[in-house]
Structure 1
Amino acid sequence: MENVVELKNVTKKFKDFSVKNIDLQVKQGFVTGFIGGNGAGKSTSIKMMMNLLRPDEGEIKVFGLDYMTHEKEIKERIGFVYDGNVFFEGLNLKDIRRIVSPAYKQWDDTLFYQYIEKFELPVNKSIKTFSKGMQMKASLAIALSHHAELIIMDEPTAGLDPIFRRELLDLLQELMIDGNRSIFFSTHITTDLDRIADFIALIQGGELIFSKSIHEVSDNYALVKGGTDLLDRDTEKAFVHIHRASTGFEALTDNIQAVKNTFGDTVLMERASLEDIMYYLKGGIHHDKFNQT
């Protein structure tokens, strides 16, 4: 399985925040979801993938190439979809096509107009008249019109209504059918990724917590519920994080078999969603009714 992006021991330090020792691979032909709360380091990592920020330490390769010697070649093969409009608001799509198309050797006018028609976008109206969803569609149409092999999306569904979000996810699934395109999808709306992601990478506080296939996540993580009388220093070792309440405990495990061996049928186990995993690994307080251990 080939990697289209590789980050090896990548670190970027700021005055009050750092992204530290990131080892991350984006597999060719798959959707990789990049999750984490606001300020976790997602956008910083993406900017380094795009060579908009240079890492202080570590190595980044895209399509097996480095930016020092192959920047133009790499960026020809990437399509970037932002959260919001990045074009001058007075321009219309015809203006944008005229400005952007010469930058790409593989630009395909026929494809561009096919996507404009598919997305029902007006070509003569200025971008400032577009809704947020239309702006996102415009960015995606441009990204796809130069036959980009890697689509990088930074919070593309933030602020979109649920119906449009679902339409976008269906479209992304269509784009993946031929197996030649890869998508790197950064979001804090984890329910989107439950539907389309093949791999999940979780970043918190500038550190990569894990990078696993969606099947590994599903197989390894679970929510466990039971009576607090079952908990002691030894049995608690089966959990990543525990919340206690007067009615019992709820905990996250990353070792389902260990829970089965320890507790048998005395606890209830449920599938942990990506949101559950992100929340519990951060160790927050749950609706004020739990006391953090």
Structure 2
Amino acid sequence: MAVLSVKGLCKKYKAFELKNVSFELRRGTITGFIGRNGAGKTTTLKALLHFIHPDSGEIRFFGQDIAEHELAVKQKLGFVSGGADYYPMKKLKAITDVTKRFYGEWDDGVYRRYMKLFGLDETKTPKQLSEGMKVKYSLTLALSHHAELLIFDEPTSGLDPVSRDELLDIFLKLVEREGVTLLFSTHITADLEKCADDILYIKNGEISADMPLDDFIAEYRVARFAGGVPNDGRLLGVKRERRGCSALMRAEDLPAEGAEVSDATLEEIMVHLEKE
């Protein structure tokens, strides 16, 4: 049974439409959710968490329909956002005391362990925390009620490289040691290359790719041309660079005459495909 199964999810607005979004999350994996601004990531996440109601489609967590079993499902979910806002002048202890009342499986021992691990002080207020520490506090709350699925919305945005790397290490340990499943939405594709097992790529409201990350990256190469780009239908997303031009190619379509070919990063793949 999939941790999360989404089938035929649709939501229509005046200027945007989420079209037939379908995917599944494997237990004990990290899935990277990517797409440019406005592609549908936030709308999808809001629908998953029942913050908005889709026009059609099915969303099942742990085999249960979110529309019918919202309270039970959310006992097993943890949502962590890079832009988490709490009452800025309330002490963390007060925020925790309110939060814990909503969860039947709240574990004070786990809470204390992560507060100590992350170096968090209950007597401080959110206003006194750095952005990285706010994310760690959100993560502590999510883990303290034994969440089986963590949904992250840009958790590393605004963090310095060292803090981002520390969080990614925590994510990997959660998966390896506790079997937690993660859905990780981010624009920082380099983070996903460090930790993700699978990739979910949304473009113009539709899922464009849903597969293991390594398989997705292996599909493509970057071809760089010192001069003009030849008229070749195999080239994807041609763009100018400081010295010449570059394009994406499927590995199966190589070789490319007159091009310097290299492996593609996730960011390069996304940038070129968005020009298609």
User: Is the structural similarity TM-score above 0.5?
Assistant: yes
Question: Alignment RMSD, CA only?
Answer: 2.0
- SS of aligned partner of 1:44: helix
Residues 126-205 of structure 1 mapped to structure 2, 5 A cutoff: 126-178=125-177, 180-205=179-204
For residues 162-203 of structure 1, what are the alpha-carbon distances to aligned partners after superposition, in whole Å with 9 as ceiling and x for unaligned? 111111111111111136210000011111111000011111
Structure 1 residue 71 displacement after superposition? 1.0
Q: Which of 236, 239, 244 matches 1:240?
A: 236
SS at match of 1:176: helix
What amino acid maps onto 2:188 in structure 1?
I
Which residue does 2:254 correspond to in 1? Answer: 259
CA distance in 1, matches of 2:4, 2:101: 26
Query: Does the 8 Å CA contact 1:175/1:181 hold for their aligned counterparts?
Result: yes
Greater alpha carbon shift after TM alignment, 199-208 vs 43-52: 199-208
2:234 partner letter: A
Report the alpha carbon displacement of residue 125 of structure 1 after superposing the two structures with TM.
Answer: 1.4
Report the count of equivalent residues: 276
Q: Is the 1:228–1:244 contact (alpha carbons within 8 Å) kept by the matching residues of 2? A: no
How far 1:225 moved relative to its partner? 2.4
Q: Out of 258, 266, 270, which is 1:274 matched to?
A: 266
| TM-score (norm. length: structure 2) | 0.93
Deviation string, structure 1 residues 102-139 (Cα, Å, up to 9, x no partner): 21121110110110111111111122211111111110
Q: Which runs of 5+ in 2 are unaligned?
A: none
* One-letter identity of the residue aligned with 1:277: I
Is it true that 1:118 corresponds to 2:117 in the alignment?
A: yes
Distance (Å, rounded) in 2 between the aligned partners of 1:14 and 1:169: 34
**SS where residue 84 of structure 1 aligns?**
coil
What residue number does 1:210 align with?
Answer: 209
CA shift at 1:228, angstroms? 6.0
Q: Deviations over 1:41-74 (max 9, x none)?
A: 1111101111111111211111111022211111
Q: Which residue of 2 aligns with 1:288?
A: none
Percent identity, aligned pairs only, is 37
Whole-Å separation in 1 of the counterparts to 2:224 and 2:84: 44
What secondary structure sits across from 2:268 in the alignment?
helix
Task: For structure 1, list consecutive stretches of 5 or more residues without a partner in the other structure.
Answer: 285-293
Match of 1:290 in 2: none
Whole-Å separation in 1 of the counterparts to 2:89 and 2:12: 37
> Residue 246 of structure 2 aligns to which amino acid in structure 1?
E
Instruction: Tell whether 2:246 aligns with 1:250.
Output: yes
SS at match of 1:151: strand
> Do the aligned partners of residues 250 and 144 (structure 1) sit closer, same or farther apart at CA in structure 2, a change above 3 Å counting?
same
Q: Is 2:228–2:245's contact at 8 Å kept on the other side of the alignment?
A: no
Instruction: Give, in angstroms, the shift of residue 156 of structure 1.
Output: 0.5
